[in-house]
Structure 1
Amino acid sequence: MLEAFARDLRAGTPAARRRAARRAYGLGVALTAGPAALVGLVQALQGRAPLPPGGMVAVALLAAGLAGAAYLLARRSARAPGVPPAQAALTAAFQGASVPGVPLLLAGAFVPTWGLVLALLSVAGLGHVLVWRQLGRWAQAAAGAR
């Protein structure tokens, strides 16, 4: 994967920059999903910790807010003036991995509370779809901002 990633960066074409951004995003999400799964396993082994409904709503809103902030930062990074196009696209892709990553990590932390886990996984899924669809535009915006 890293060899293909390096090859795409050296190519420098818009299509190669999109492929590199998608690979960077995939790597970022994978690096977040691994710890989330481990935290979830530990939480499942420890048993259920009670969480009131208000707490579940607060955690879901926190996850959505943090994911939204990560999205805005990633979008801004794609349009950063004075940054080489490949670097801007990759920075946006890695920051974009936080959009589904934050809800994934929180879902792992609240594994015994399955309703909240499903809500957080839904937020992560929506964040993933949003970022995946924007990666090509961010790579194009990075090239166009020069």
Structure 2
Amino acid sequence: MLKAFARDLRVGTPAARQRAARRAYSLGVAQAAVPAVLVGLVQAAQGGAALPLGSRVAVAVLAAGLAAAAYVLARRSARRADVPAAQAALTAAFQSASVPGVPLLMAGAFVPTWGLVLALLVLAALAHGVVWRSLAGWVRPAGEGQPG
């Protein structure tokens, strides 16, 4: 994966930069998913009490808010005109891995509460879809100003 990533960066075409951005994003999501699974396994082994409904709603809202904030920051990084286009796209791609990563990590932490885990996984899947579609718009040709 890293060889393909480096090759795409060297090519420098918009399509290659988009592939590199998607690879960077995928690597970042994998780095969040692995600890989430490990934490979930530990939580499942320990067992635990389920959260009351109000607490589950608060956790889901917190996860959605943090994911939204991560998306805004990644989008802001992609639009920076004071850095090279490739750097802006890759920075945004790495940062955007937090968008689905936050709900994934929180899902692992709340494993005994399966309804909440399902809600957080659905949130992570939706966040992944939004970021995946956004990555193409965040890659701009070299020398161009802000993406559209």
Q: TM-score, normalising length from structure 2?
A: 0.95
Question: How many corresponding residue pairs?
Answer: 146
Structure 2: stretches of 5+ with no match in the other structure: none
Distance 1:128 1:79 in 2: 20
Q: Which residue of 2 aligns with 1:27?
A: 27
When residues 11 and 125 of structure 1 are mapped into structure 2, their CA distance, relative to the original with a 3 A threshold, is: same
- 2:79 aligned with 1:101: no
Contact 1:18/1:139, CA 8 A, preserved across alignment: yes
Cα deviation for residue 140 of structure 1 reads: 2.5
Aligned AA (1:52):
P
Q: Which residue of 2 aligns with 1:110?
A: 110
CA-based RMSD: 1.3
Q: Which residue of 1 aligns with 2:131?
A: 131
When residues 141 and 46 of structure 1 are mapped into structure 2, their CA distance, relative to the original with a 3 A threshold, is: farther
Aligned AA (1:120):
L
Runs of at least 4 residues off by over 4 Å: none
Cα deviation for residue 145 of structure 1 reads: 1.7
Q: Which residue of 2 aligns with 1:78?
A: 78
Contact 1:80/1:88, CA 8 A, preserved across alignment: yes
Contact 1:39/1:109, CA 8 A, preserved across alignment: yes
Q: Which residue of 2 aligns with 1:41?
A: 41
- The share of aligned pairs that are identical, in percent, is 73
Q: Which residue of 1 aligns with 2:69?
A: 69
Q: Which residue of 1 aligns with 2:90?
A: 90
Pick the structure with more helix per residue. 1
Aligned AA (2:52):
P
| Structure 2 counterpart SS, 1:48 | coil
Cα deviation for residue 97 of structure 1 reads: 0.6
Aligned AA (1:15):
A
Cα deviation for residue 87 of structure 1 reads: 0.8
Distance 2:41 2:4 in 1: 33
Contact 2:13/2:141, CA 8 A, preserved across alignment: no
Distance 1:141 1:73 in 2: 21
Q: Which residue of 1 aligns with 2:11?
A: 11
